[in-house]
Amino acid sequence: MKIGVYFCNCGTNIKDKIDPERVKEKTPADVHFKTVDFLCSEEGKTFLESDIKENGLERVVISACSPREHENTFMRVLSKAGINPYLMQMVNAREQIAWVTDDKEKAVSKAMRYINAAIKRIALHDPLEKKEIDVSQDALIIGAGPAGLKAALSLAEAGRRVVIVEKTPVIGGMPVRYEELFPNMECGPCMLEPLMGEILHGEYSENIELLTLSEVVEAVGFYGNFTVKIKRRPRCVDIHKCIGCAECIEPCPVSAKNEFNCGLNERKAISFPFAGALPNAPFIDDSVCLRAKGDECSLCKNACPVEDAILFDDKESVVERSVGAIVIAIGSDIYDCRNIPNLGLGTIDGVYTAVEFERIIASNGPADGEIKMPDGEPPKAIAIIHCVGSLDERHRGYCSGICCGYAFKFNHIISKKLPDAKIYHLYKELVIPGKEEFSLYRHAQDNMNSFFIRYRNIDDLEITSHQGKKIIRNKTLPAEAGSIESDMVILCPAVVPSDKSGELSRIFEAALDRFGFFEELHNRMDSAQSKIRGIYLAGTCQSPMDIQKAMNQGMAAAGYILSGLAAGRKLEISPVTAVVDADRCSGCRVCISVCPYKAISFDAEKEVSVVNEVLCQGCGTCVSACPSGAIKGNHFTNEEILAEISEVLQ
């Protein structure tokens, strides 16, 4: 077996500390040794290819920089030279020796040991071959908020088939319920309408299948080949036939609390969630409808001017879709402020969460956009409490980032609708990032009726009611100094993970972080990728963020899918994976429990573990955990590693 060693001087980065001639003296005499100034340069790569061919080398050791930087570079050169690229071993002489070893004698000694260890190891390398499989280019988007819709439209415009799964009857997420959005006070539905219109009936809408009132219940497969089961609840209205005239709603004899308006008003059993909701078709709520209770009521159908637009025989069903990639964009929720009972939510009239207040000030909301107290009078003083549940280890230790922005938006709206009303901002910290957000803060500061009061701990605040007034007292201060009278209180809660995050995490085996949000591959470099290949993240399911960042993440997820599942391309699988020896496997399943990539399953028929080569990242966790030594790590076998260690310790 003819082995070659190529020592790269890397200019002066390596040769200033390590003399290649002294290293050459300590390498075995039958090893072909060459020194090159810049092996990664075009001249260096050309020399490497020709020298390998001329000398008939079978194995190659490269002593240079970090494998992370140039391992793929040299593997491509080996392929051109006719050698299997996995018959190469790199020694990181720059970062691990030259840059961290001041003593030149020690640096030379270390380099000798590292290179000789690589020579011993390379003799045991197996030639490995990459595999290719066919993939589906279609995608599944879970969640029809801004992030999910942006990703879906981007994929559809590229000619991909997209399935959007949305658990509610409407698309657009939470922003379509907000009449004005910070920082520029744009109308939420107006801003999103072009995007929603393109999704529903635009040029590329034929590439998009929208499944409302639907949830993913099961998923199997891997990147490029997922099969997903989706449960569809009956809408009982054909969204393609319905013309949205609303004639069916008034005759309906039963009502229920309208959850889309936070229970602040009621809706009929058949209704639109709110005015302007898209798709422009009502839905029937089975939990309220008299027909679901055995009654033969058909008043809504009798009033409908379109034949067969209302479908009483619509049933729950489960459909299957095959896709190559999945984007989780389910959004988030807000912290339950009832966990902080001293703030009075649910027990004192006139205390609202920020989402409830958004619906109050919306013209299509329960109050027609008017800010009024329960007695119908406009409030003379309103308190906005920031950081409710945020920056508090007993509740949520992180800052949600968007709360101050919408709190100052509320300040702007209140001062416009009620110019004489006093507005109190009680805050723990003020966070106003971005190039435009400060304008609303400045508007609040310049308003003579706006007052800023800092508190230290949310438990220090106590809200009580006295003769219709809300008394907000800071218990750490004297009563005279620490009390505020207000007619209305708005709580700005922490952004928290959706209650569906845990269930989807289980279905897709995608990890959640310590806060309950979906965990990204890297929180700065790859926030749109999950730790499971082919599962992407977009929007506030990954972290609290504003609409701009959510849409950018949706675009990033679409970009990953378009580049990874390109038309006509097969999926290339790295051979550096774990392999199970079926004859030695005892079926203990320890490997399944320790695999961080969920790449191992159990074949019940053969009673052995099976490694999915697409999902496996070759980390070796299962190899070290297997009690019977039945798992081998390709390119990192026990024999290879032990030979390397043994030589280093000589």
Cα distance between residue 467 and residue 543, in whole Å: 41
Please, which residues bridge with residue 88 across strands? 60
Average pLDDT over residues 115-136: 94
Q: And the tokens for 616?
A: 């496996």
- The answer to whether residue 132 scores a pLDDT higher than 90 is no
Burial of 165 (C-beta count, 10 Å sphere; 0-12/13-18/19+): buried
- The answer to whether residue 479 scores a pLDDT higher than 70 is no
Task: Tell me the per-residue pLDDT of 264-289, one tens digit each, with 9 for 90 and over.
Answer: 899 999 999 888 889 999 999 988 89
Task: Tell me the per-residue pLDDT of 591-612, one tens digit each, with 9 for 90 and over.
Answer: 999 998 778 999 999 999 999 8
Task: Tell me the per-residue pLDDT of 98-107, one tens digit each, with 9 for 90 and over.
Answer: 999 999 999 9
- The answer to whether residue 476 scores a pLDDT higher than 80 is no
With the C-alpha atoms ordered 444, 448, 450, 451, is the resulting torsion angle positive or negative? positive
Output 639-642 pairs: Cβ under 8 A, ≥24 positions apart. 639/124, 640/121, 640/124, 640/125, 641/121
Task: Tell me the per-residue pLDDT of 174-205, one tens digit each, with 9 for 90 and over.
Answer: 999 898 898 888 888 889 999 999 999 999 99
Neighbours of 265 (CB within 10 A): 14
Helix ranges (H only) for 232-316 are 299-303
What's residue 542's pLDDT? 95
Average pLDDT over residues 36-55: 96
Task: Tell me the per-residue pLDDT of 519-549, one tens digit each, with 9 for 90 and over.
Answer: 998 888 889 999 888 999 999 999 999 999 9
- pLDDT category, 321, cuts 50, 70, 90? very high
Neighbours of 570 (CB within 10 A): 12
- The answer to whether residue 550 scores a pLDDT higher than 80 is yes
Dump strand ranges (E) for 69-206. Answer: 88-92, 131-133, 139-142, 162-165
3-state class percentages of the chain: helix first, strand second, coil last, to nearest 5: 30, 25, 45
Average pLDDT over residues 461-466: 90
What's residue 374's pLDDT? 80
Average pLDDT over residues 448-464: 92
- The answer to whether residue 477 scores a pLDDT higher than 80 is no
3-state secondary structure of 300: helix
Amino acid (one-letter) located at 570: K
What percent of the chain has a predicted confidence (pLDDT) above 90?
A: 79
- pLDDT category, 386, cuts 50, 70, 90? very high
What's residue 481's pLDDT? 61
Check if the beta carbon of residue 353 is closer than 8 Å to that of residue 268: no
Q: Which residue has the tokens 């061919």?
A: 53
Q: How many Cα neighbours within 13 Å face the side chain of 90?
A: 23
Average pLDDT over residues 478-486: 75
**Averaged pLDDT of the chain:** 93
For strands 131-133 and 59-64, give the pairing. unpaired
Q: What's the residue count for the chain?
A: 650
3-state secondary structure of 107: helix
Cα distance between residue 304 and residue 308, in whole Å: 9
Cα distance between residue 426 and residue 622, in whole Å: 52
Task: Tell me the per-residue pLDDT of 356-369, one tens digit each, with 9 for 90 and over.
Answer: 999 999 988 888 89
Helix (H) or strand (E) holding 641: helix 638-648
Amino acid (one-letter) located at 367: A
What's residue 208's pLDDT? 97
Average pLDDT over residues 329-336: 95
Helix (H) or strand (E) holding 471: strand 469-474
